[in-house]
Structure formats: structure tokens, C-alpha cells
């Protein structure tokens, strides 16, 4: 699953900046749940506009 790959990469690279991920399609709900429960400072949102708003909010 893509969400697991993202989590592995964030851990391996010791990435500390907030990450907003937009999932849509097959298994997107499961992917969002995995990302949101990872406790790695990542947020997963299904709507492109809401994801963009979250990025702007985090950039402030």
C-alpha cells in the first residue's frame, strides 16, 4: 500500500517537516487512516482544495 511506503520513507529519512498527503481511489480510506494514525506529523486528506488549505495553514 502506498501509505506504508510513505511512512517507511519518512522514518528512513528522519523527515521532520509536516507532510500533507491526498489519497483518492481504491483503498484511499485505509491509506488515510494509516497516515493519520502514524504519529509522524503527516495529515491525509481526500479533497484537493482542503489539502491545499492545510498546506497553507501549516506553512504559516
CATH of residue 23's domain is 3.40.50.261
Q: Residue 12 above 90 pLDDT?
A: yes
* Segment (H or E) for 48: helix 48-59
Q: What confidence category does residue 33 fall into, taking pLDDT thresholds of 50, 70 and 90?
A: very high
Does residue 20 sit in helix, strand or coil? Answer: strand
Q: Which domain holds residue 33?
A: 2-59
pTM of the model: 0.79
Q: How many domains does the chain have?
A: 1
3-20 average pLDDT score? 93
Question: Distance between CA atoms of 20 and 35, rounded to whole angstroms?
Answer: 9
Residue 60's pLDDT band (cuts 50, 70, 90): confident
pLDDT at position 32, please? 92
Q: How confident is the model at residue 5 (pLDDT cuts 50, 70, 90)?
A: very high
Contact status, residue 35 vs residue 5, Cβ threshold 8 Å: no
Distant-in-sequence, close-in-space partners of 21: CB < 8 Å, separation ≥ 6: 3, 6, 31, 32, 35, 42, 43, 44, 45, 51
Amino acid at each position: 500500500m502506498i501509505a506504508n511506503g510513505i511512512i517507511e520513507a519518512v522514518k528512513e529519512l528522519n523527515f521532520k517537516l509536516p507532510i500533507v498527503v491526498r489519497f483518492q481511489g481504491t483503498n484511499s480510506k485505509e491509506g488515510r487512516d494509516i497516515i493519520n494514525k502514524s504519529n509522524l506529523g503527516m495529515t491525509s486528506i481526500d479533497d484537493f482544495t482542503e489539502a491545499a488549505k492545510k498546506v497553507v495553514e501549516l506553512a504559516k
